[in-house]
Amino acid sequence: MGSYHHGNLRDALLKEAVELGREGGPAAVGIRELARRTGVSPTAAYRHFTDRDDLLRAVADVGIAELEEYMLRTLRRVRRTDPAERARRRLRAIGQAYVEFALEAPGLFAVAFNAVTFADLTAPYRNLTDALDECVESGFVDQDKRRGAEPICWAGVHGFVMLHGTGPLRGAPRRERDADLARLLDRIEDSLRRT
């Protein structure tokens, strides 16, 4: 019998906590507000999470999983063409997915990014590494420029997210933002391209 009082309270709490994070970022994820929303006493939450930090970590894990899922979905949409072109498109898809996810779910993204260590990002990071490898193998990307390329690509898209998400470029119209992103991805490709 998996059910008692609320049924799976842990699941209900986590789901609601993710919603809180989505709405207001890390600061909005609190035990008391969570309990209120779930219709349960604050103490009840302590049966399922050791403290607020534990809760934040759990929300962050959900965020990372969702990002990974979104990346894979985007990656799957890349059509088969010649290897170099396919590699290029896959690299681009990853950047695009990262930015789109972060801008669609800024709060959740912020929770994930704040709570996280490098080790927690193995899955999404792996996508990037694989894509870059594919770019080299197919001859699209220069061997020499491959070294240390991950943090560079990452920095580019992450910075974009910061500037356009809650940062100083947050006011920019959607059209401009999209054009900006397209140019950013163009330049990233240029920077790695074999000449």
Write out the chain in H/E/C secondary structure.
CCCCCCCCHHHHHHHHHHHHHHHHCHHHCCHHHHHHHHCCCHHHHCCCCCCHHHHHHHHHHHHHHHHHHHHHHHHHCCCCCCHHHHHHHHHHHHHHHHHHHHHHCHHHHHHHHHHCCHHHHHHHHHHHHHHHHHHHHCCCECHHHHCCHHHHHHHHHHHHHHHHCCCCCCCCCHHHHHHHHHHHHHHHHHHHECC
Q: What residues between 156 and 195 interact with a second copy by CB under 8 A?
A: 156-163, 166-169, 171, 179-180, 183-184, 187-188, 190-192, 195
The stretch near a second copy (CB under 8 A) out of 12-20, 65-73, 108-116, 128-136 is: 108-116
Q: Is 5 in the site for DNA (CB under 7 A)?
A: yes
Does residue 51 interact with DNA by CB under 7 A?
yes
**Partner from a second copy, DNA, none binding residue 145, C-beta < 5-8 Å depending on class:** a second copy
Q: Per CB under 8 A, does 65 bind a second copy?
A: no
Name the residues that contact a second copy, by CB under 8 A.
113-114, 116-118, 120-121, 145, 147-149, 151-152, 154-163, 166-169, 171, 179-180, 183-184, 187-188, 190-192, 195
